[in-house]
């Protein structure tokens, strides 16, 4: 099972495929009478948009930290599990990752609130069309997803605090956190 999880972690295509199945499944569940092509199209558009944002963000992090995707995956895994790297290079990568995540969470709250605003419009659109079961399902799914997002944000901030304290903040990490640019 660990081998399958490891391969899944390394494959953005597999992650996008699973996301598409889940999103399309929610649309299918919300309105089973809807034509198949319509819920597949909605699932593809939403999954494609989210995947594009995440892939662009990942590319930005890779270039800012000057690491390859495997080093970034390892650092993210260590951050998630709260493991402090022993290797000096890995510690520097972790400092940069923590600084980057802290910056993203501090300077982009508008992205979260904008996303939640769009998410709130989905049940409103269903309700205005008179599709009350779909509106209720969208409202319940949106509420659960919003609660999960805020819980995850809180948990991530705690992880960042823990890792920052364990690693100590380098002058480079402070500069990266406050200015948004990494100095060499």
**Which of 47, 33, 177, 51 minimizes the C-alpha distance to 104?**
177
The residue that leads in pLDDT, 121 or 34, is: 121
pLDDT at 174: 45
The residue that leads in pLDDT, 172 or 152, is: 152
pTM: 0.67
pLDDT at 175: 42
pLDDT at 127: 95
Above 80 in pLDDT, residue 137? yes
Residues 6+ apart with CB under 8 A from 123: 135, 136, 138, 139, 142
Above 70 in pLDDT, residue 63? yes
Q: 85 in helix, strand or coil? A: coil
């Amino acid at each position: 099972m660990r081998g399958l999880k490891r391969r899944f972690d390394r494959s953005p295509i597999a992650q996008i495929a699973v996301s598409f199945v889940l999103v399309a499944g929610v649309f299918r569940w919300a309105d089973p009478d809807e034509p198949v092509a319509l819920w597949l199209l909605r699932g593809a558009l939403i999954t494609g948009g989210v995947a594009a944002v995440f892939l662009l963000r990942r590319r930005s992090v890779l270039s800012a930290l000057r690491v390859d995707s495997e080093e970034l995956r390892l650092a993210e895994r260590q951050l998630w599990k709260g493991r402090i790297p022993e290797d000096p290079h890995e510690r520097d990568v972790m400092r940069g990752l923590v600084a980057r995540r802290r910056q993203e969470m501090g300077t982009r709250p508008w992205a979260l609130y904008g996303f939640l605003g769009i998410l709130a419009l989905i049940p409103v659109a269903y309700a205005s069309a008179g599709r009350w079961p779909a509106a209720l399902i969208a409202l319940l799914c949106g509420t659960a997803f919003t609660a999960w997002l805020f819980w995850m944000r809180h948990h991530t901030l705690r992880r960042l605090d823990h890792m920052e304290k364990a690693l100590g903040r380098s002058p480079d990490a402070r500069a990266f956190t406050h200015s948004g640019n990494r100095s060499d």
